[in-house]
Amino acid sequence: MSEIKKTLTFTVLSISLLTVMAGAAIAPALGTIREHFAGTPDIVVQMIVSMPALFIIMTNLVFTKLCALMETRAQAKCQYQAEYVVLKVTHCRRKGSK
């Protein structure tokens, strides 16, 4: 296996762990979150851990169809535009909160 394929494999597997690590990072704080949102049902607080996984399932259903319809360049362009919008929104929110 070439060095590029090994690096790519490692990168893809590392990124796939991020969804698992998000739940692991949030889970210890559930008690504190539950205390802060005392009037909220417990099931809503517990959904914080499972919502990212549910969102991934829903978007995978859409993106598989979308990728079949679009060329690689168009997909990359959409990704860059989406990242730009997210960065702009984040930057505007930071400015507005000061």
Give residue limits of the domains in the chain: 3-69
- Exposure string for 53-90, b = 16+ CB within 10 A, e = fewer: eeeeeeeeeeeeeeeeeeeeeeeeeeeeeeeeeeeeee
pLDDT in tens, 61-89: 887 777 777 777 776 777 667 777 767 77
Q: State the residue for tokens 């362009």.
A: 77
DSSP state of 39: T
pTM of the model: 0.45
pLDDT in tens, 21-44: 777 777 788 888 889 888 888 888
Q: Which residue type, as a one-letter code, is found at position 68?
A: A
